[in-house]
Structure 1
Amino acid sequence: MIAPRTLGATGLRVSGLCLGTWQLSGAWGPDTEPAVRAIRRAFDLGINFFDTAYAYGEGAAESGLARGLGDLVRTHRDELVLVTKAGLERRGDVFPRNSDPAWLRTSLLRSLDALGVDHVDVLLVHWPDPLVPYAETAGVLAGFVEEGLVRHTGVSNFGVPELSEFARGGPLEVAQPPLNLLSRDADADVIPFCAARGVGIMGWGALAQGLLTDAARDIARRRADRMPYRGAALDRALGVVDRLAERAAGRGCTLAELALAWVLAHPAGIVPIVGAQNPAQIESSVRALDLRLDPGERDELTALAAEAPAQEPDPPVPTRAEV
């Protein structure tokens, strides 16, 4: 059984891993049934923490999560911690940021319907929308708490200035920054800011789009246009990944398990979000909970990963005014 931990100051008792649901959005292909089966397997292994978003297929991932949980939503609702995100709205082929209060409500209600629940445990703003004051957005989410639609509120992908303004308007209880061995920018500002204020931290992208797995070279070849490195920089990064894989082999684990263990050993008590396209993948991720990295070993892995070149920034998520 997975030992639970408390998510920041929320009081929520969550598993050390959170199962994400992007793989249920349809973006990886139409056959999502193996990923749906992974949800029940995750619960059977002790995972009670699930992350989704309305923008993941406009409710498709949320419906898939509900399908995977099945009767657990009714029989074990108090044990489940369900997180969803609002604040992106489809405009043609893109999902620009939209924190208009009316859209946040519409998105939340659609999420509740797709999940088959009357409330979610955590609602996050998916991306900061500069067209709406962040403090105002926080107040809107606080209103959802008063209505009983949401228990706790927070944000995803916010920088420190945005976090500060959000916190002036309502509770900032959970934050979801990107964090992995190859992408540690949040360690410089967002994570210390949150940790000092008792904000629960969920780290997304723990496996760096597959680069921190034993299939890294194949993934880099197949998804070259979506990698955070290009050309010679990718070759250098893969060289570092190879050395990290050697360290994993020395520990008798996969690279993915070692990468997750690095996040799990973070002194801020971060819960990594992992995806699983089938039950075997979530079983592998859970094994990372048995790996123990002492501070010295974690620092060695950080130093090794720091030899990789700087990543190219992701294309910005547009605002409504830009589409």
Structure 2
Amino acid sequence: MPTPWTGHRHANAGGRAEAAVGPWLRRNPGTLGVTTKIGHDTTGQDIPLSHENVHDHVRASLDNLGVEVIDLLLYHCDDPVRPVTELAGTLVSLVEAGHVRRVGVSNWRAEHLTSLAHELAERGHALVGSYQFSLAERVQALLEGSLRDDATVLGVVHEHRLLRLGWSSQARGFFARAGTEQVNGRPDPYDTEDNRARRRRCRELAGQLGTRPETVALAWTLHHPGIWPSISPRTTEQIDRSKPDASL
């Protein structure tokens, strides 16, 4: 059961991520679309997704980011003890209040995902699903509770024609690395024979096209209809390597 939540600070970077990009967004209004998640506190623990908590959290995000409206808001977790009708109603109320344009969820299991998609469709809103998605298939969860687009989730996606935000779409740099490495002090969850074979093929194609293997792997995700790949660059160089390549 979710633990009580008493603050407005969010999980990413201990609550510092939104505050870090907020000043830039204020100086460059309308330049970028804004997506953010709610549902975790600064320790990564789930918060109760009550109407009051969610609205408080969204208002804090708007203040931190310095924007008037969030383009896409995602529940970062499920709240299985709360009725899906209530969770759907809270999302719709955020749209009707003008705080967000589109709504979605991250890492929800298929049975709850289909219920929420149905509830929102009944109210005239389309749901976006956010799951880990890349050319490399991981052998273990990247984060506790994180899910991949498995067959049951994809069944819901196709049934309700959901758009998807594919996070970790570059497999945490797997295609940019030459060999085996640890990631955050643990074995690389993508380091399998199948994924190494995919990386070799990406390197071969990249060599033929004069680009980089990680760019080829990202292009693979972009060729899937209804997928918005999400990347996590740490440098401007990594951003440049992730830009679309006309040859792909």
Structure 2 segments unaligned to the other structure (5+ residues):
1-8, 139-147
2:113 to 150, 163, 167: 163
Distance in 2, matches of 1:291 and 1:273, equals 21
1:133 matches 2:80: no
What is the RMSD computed on CA atoms of the aligned residues? 2.6
1:270 matches 2:227: yes
Instruction: Please list, as runs of the form range in 1=range in 2, the aligned pairs for 1:22-171 lying within 5 A after superposition.
Output: 54-73=10-29, 77=30, 80-90=32-42, 93-170=43-120, 171=125
Distance in 2, matches of 1:130 and 1:110, equals 24
TM-score by length of 2: 0.79
2:188 to 220, 227, 230: 227
- For 2:204, give the aligned amino acid: E
The corresponding residue for 2:129 is: 175
Q: Say if 1:85 and 1:124, in contact at 8 Å, map to a contact too.
A: yes
Q: Say if 1:202 and 1:271, in contact at 8 Å, map to a contact too.
A: yes
Distance in 1, matches of 2:238 and 2:112, equals 35
Count of residues in Structure 1 that have an aligned counterpart in Structure 2 = 226
Q: Residue 162 of structure 1: CA displacement?
A: 1.5
Distance in 1, matches of 2:73 and 2:92, equals 10
Distance in 2, matches of 1:95 and 1:64, equals 22
Q: Which runs of 4+ in 1 moved over 6 A?
A: none
SS in 2 for 1:201: strand
The corresponding residue for 1:297 is: none
Q: Residue 256 of structure 1: CA displacement?
A: 0.9
Q: Say if 2:23 and 2:66, in contact at 8 Å, map to a contact too.
A: no
Identity %: 29
Going from structure 1 to structure 2, the CA distance change for 1:192 and 1:94 (only over 3 Å counts) comes to closer
The corresponding residue for 2:175 is: 212
* Higher-RCO chain (CA-CA 8 Å, sequence separation at least 6): 1
Distance in 2, matches of 1:226 and 1:123, equals 32
Going from structure 1 to structure 2, the CA distance change for 1:192 and 1:212 (only over 3 Å counts) comes to farther
Q: What is the CA deviation profile of residues 199-250 of structure 1, one whole-angstrom value per residue up to 9, with x for unaligned ones?
A: 222111111122122x2536x2354515325xxxx46356423443233323
TM-score by length of 1: 0.62
SS in 1 for 2:79: coil
Going from structure 1 to structure 2, the CA distance change for 1:192 and 1:88 (only over 3 Å counts) comes to same
SS in 1 for 2:149: helix
